[in-house]
Amino acid sequence: MNNIIEKIKRIKVDSIYGKKKHFNAADRKQNIHYWIGIPLVLVNIVTGTSLFILLTENVESWLKFLPVIFAFIAAILGGLQTYFNFNEKVEGHRKCGNDYLAVLKKCDRLQATIKDKLISTDKVLENLEEIGDEINRINKVAESYPTSKKDYMQAQEGIKEGEETYLQDELDL
């Protein structure tokens, strides 16, 4: 049973880090979405206002090119948001993080039932197989939502700095 307990622990630790790095990636991409989206809205407002003013006045200075420049910037920002589809990626990362969290909780419950001797070895193996299948499914989905090394490093730092509380023996393999 010790090998099974170690396997559950490994899945649990992988789930902890998987959850954290996907939530970190979601936060990072949401920030990028805002950094592009807010200027996009502002540039569109300025462009629309400038065009209205310029069309109602006879301007012969360099200002007549300002709306064109703003329109170009707005088109670039809008294209970036469309191409990178940050909203969909944020949702995908959050779903992966929540799925890893669900596996983590299943592992906790399984460990508790083993420790309290409330479950047979056959049932433990059955639960472990289900958890393994669930991890495989999550990992396949997560391939569409890659995380960066920085997301993983932030996950490690966050856990070490106490963003979430885990006992040291839960994290040691």
**Phi-psi sector, 154: left (phi>0), alpha (psi -120 to 50), beta:** alpha
CA distances to 97, 125, 144 from 101, in Å: 6, 21, 18
Q: Are the C-beta atoms of residues 15 and 107 closer than 8 Å to each other?
A: yes
Query: Global pTM?
Result: 0.77
Mean pLDDT over each residue of the chain, to the nearest integer: 89
Q: pLDDT by residue (tens digit) across 80-112?
A: 988 999 999 999 999 999 999 999 999 999 999
d(C-alpha 28, C-alpha 11), whole Å: 25
Q: What angle do CA 138, 144, 149 make, to 5 degrees?
A: 90
Q: pLDDT by residue (tens digit) across 145-158?
A: 999 999 999 999 98
